[in-house]
Amino acid sequence: MNGEKMRILLVRPPRIEQAITLSDFMFSEPLGLEMIYGALKEEHEVEILDMMIEGISLSEKIESFKPDTVGITSLCIDVIKVIELCNEAKKANREIITVVGGTQAYLNPEAFYHETVDHIFQFTRSENLKIFYDGLSIGGIQKVDGVLSRTFGYETTGAKGHNQYLVPDRSSTAKYREEYSYFGYRSAAIMEFGTGCKKCCDFCLRWRIEGAKEKLIDRELTKKDLLSIKEPTIMFIDNDFFASREKIEAFILLVKELRLKKNYIMYGSVEGILKYKEYLEELAGLGLKALLVGYETFNDSEMIQYQKNSTASDNMTAARLLKDSGVDVWASFMAHPDWSKKDFKKLRSYIKTLKPQISSISPLTPFPSLPMYACYKDRLLYKAEDYEKWSFGQVMIKPSQISLRRYYYELLKTSLYVNISINNNTEMIKSFGGKNVFRIIKGSLKTAKKYFVLAYRGN
């Protein structure tokens, strides 16, 4: 490589079968890789391999594309697979330079200190991307802010930073896009309108990843991003779309200005829904179909523990407001490790009153990079290095009131009860179409089977 165009292969790892995830029925575009593609495509030859869709192995792809460097994105559950892929790349061609980025590289880069991982992008911004890849193309490896390189013992330059929202080039995943979905909506795109979250809930990693300050993404960038989306549905990945009046109004103005006619799905906090309720109807009129709302629990002392800033009765008010404005609720709840059979029963009747269209119940997961980790360290069922277990689907804290087997059984029973008996499935078929409902049922059964096995084993 002498300042020539480099051949860069960007890879999303395949589904991790051992992990309990939603990915059997829902996964979206690899937004981070589309951003890297967008930033590098003018100067280099770049391609994305989405292994969640393509059946081919990395070696086969290396054989046909002949990359100089392979860059892989990662979540915590992917660590072992990512290292396997780096091994495979080096085996195919020892000269290939391996690079790892993504959520896990940001939160816990040490997980990738391995002889076949050459560089780790702890944080990614347009400047460090350019310096790094231009440097590689002239064969010179230097220390770059945000990049930990094996040659330098993975030492940092000391610079700190967050990942930057760059314009994703969605044409890079053109051949995969039909497969990308968000729950019942397929095909669907994902994008972000504003980064960060000032709520800093105790159980949530998102403020750790994006920072505790809310910032709107540059308007011109957002415009470009919105106009590049061909799919009829957009899921906004913002932590809380109801974070401020400024944000909601900026969105409404932009949708009107661009005359967009799409379905929108957003995350909305109960606190924000109550504070900015006057916008709900207008948003519904503009295409807001569903809000993902973290109701979390029926128990106010747990709400305080989680630093939620809302109460179980606020949840009820939000549910009423959303019902009145015709916006569906995809609710999430967190099962506390100290729950008894009675508490699960309380949750079921609480959900019955809230009546969200969809409910997901995850066991409380004290992620290693959160302050909560220290509180539950002694009760953990798995180690921090059992990467595949940290999916937010697996019970990680030893239950104190009932056996682990009973706990899994209660989780399964509650999920089935609230999603099958409370909800109106005919309505779901009307909104999403039979094919999508079938896809969801098939995927959910696969996840339910994993829970059955865990409940049966009781370990």
Of the pair 209, 312, the CB lying nearest ligand B12 is at 209
* Options 6, 9, 36, 255; binder of ligand B12; rule CB under 6 A: 36
Looking at the Cβ atoms of 73 and 310, the one nearer to ligand B12 is: 73
- Minimum CB distance to ligand B12 smaller for 75 or for 428: 75
| CA separation for the pair 183, 423 (Å, rounded) | 15
Q: Does residue 194 belong to the site contacting ligand B12 (CB under 6 A)? A: no
Region of 203-211, 302-310, 438-446, 449-457 interacting with ligand B12 (CB under 6 A): 203-211
Q: Which of 118, 210, 343, 388 binds ligand B12 (CB under 6 A)?
A: 210
Cβ count within 10 A of residue 341: 14
Q: Which is nearer to ligand B12, 325 or 394 (CB)?
A: 394
Is residue 26 part of the contact set for ligand B12 (CB under 6 A)?
Answer: yes
Contact between 107 and ligand B12 by CB under 6 A: the answer reads yes
The size of the interface with ligand B12 (CB under 6 A), counted in residues, is: 42
Closest to 149 measured CA to CA, from 98, 203, 200: 98
To ligand B12, the closest distance from the beta carbon of 285 in angstroms equals: 25
Q: Which is closer to ligand B12, CB of 107 or CB of 226?
A: 107
Q: Is 447 in the site for ligand B12 (CB under 6 A)?
A: no
Q: Which of residues 120-159 bind ligand B12 (CB under 6 A)?
A: 121, 124
Per rule CB under 6 A, is residue 103 in the interface with ligand B12?
Answer: yes
Q: Which of 48, 217, 237, 418 binds ligand B12 (CB under 6 A)?
A: 237
Tell me which residue of 367, 371, 375, 393 sits closest to 446, measured CA to CA.
393
Q: What does R_g of the chain's alpha carbons equal in angstroms?
A: 22
Confirm if 237 and 191 have CB atoms less than 8 A apart.
yes
Position 101 contacts ligand B12 (CB under 6 A):
yes
Nearest distance from residue 208's CB to ligand B12, in Å?
A: 8
Rounded-to-integer distance, Cα 384 and Cα 373, Å: 10
CA gap 260, 102 in Å, rounded: 31
Among 99, 188, 283, 372, binds ligand B12 (CB under 6 A): 99
Closest to ligand B12 by CB, 121 or 350: 121
Other CB atoms closer than 10 Å to residue 422's CB: what's the count?
16
Task: Identify which range of 59-67, 74-82, 328-336, 401-409 contacts ligand B12 by CB under 6 A.
Answer: 74-82
Report the C-alpha gap between 205 and 105 in whole angstroms.
14
Judged by CB under 6 A, which of 38, 67, 71, 268 binds ligand B12?
Answer: 71
In this structure, the strands spanning 119-121 and 97-102 are parallel
Q: How many residues does the chain have?
A: 459
Among 81, 177, 206, 389, binds ligand B12 (CB under 6 A): 206
* Cβ atoms 128, 159 nearer than 8 A: no
Q: How does DSSP assign 145-211, residue by residue?
A: TTEEEGGGTT---S-------PPP-GGGGGGGGGG-EETTEESEEEE-SEE--S---TT-SHHHHH-
Q: In terms of CB distance, is 164 or 309 closer to ligand B12? A: 164
Stretch that binds ligand B12, among 17-25, 82-90, 213-221, 412-420 (CB under 6 A): 17-25
Q: Choose one: 31-39, 54-62, 300-308, 311-319; the region binding ligand B12 (CB under 6 A).
A: 31-39
Min separation Cβ 329 and ligand B12, Å = 16
Comparing CB distances to ligand B12, the nearer of 11 and 325 is 11
242, 276 contact by CB (below 8 A): yes
Residue 417 CB neighbour total at 10 angstroms: 16
Based on the shown chain and the rule CB under 6 A, indicate whether residue 187 belongs to the binding site for ligand B12. no
Smallest separation (angstroms) from ligand B12 to the CB of 65: 15
Report d(CA 217, CA 220) in Å as an integer: 9
Euclidean distance between CA atoms 336 and 245, whole angstroms = 33
Q: Of the candidates 230, 438, 431, 237, which has an alpha carbon nearest to the alpha carbon of residue 327?
A: 431
Question: Smaller CB distance to ligand B12: residue 5 or 162?
Answer: 162
Are the C-beta atoms of residues 381 and 395 closer than 8 Å to each other? Answer: yes
Q: CB neighbours of 450 closer than 8 A, spacing ≥ 6?
A: 20
Per rule CB under 6 A, is residue 361 in the interface with ligand B12? no
Secondary structure class of 165 (helix, strand, coil): coil
Asked whether position 73 contacts ligand B12 by CB under 6 A, the answer is yes
Binding site residues, ligand B12, CB under 6 A: 15, 20-23, 26-33, 35-36, 71, 73, 75-77, 99, 101-104, 106-107, 121, 124, 163-166, 190, 205-206, 209-210, 237, 391-393
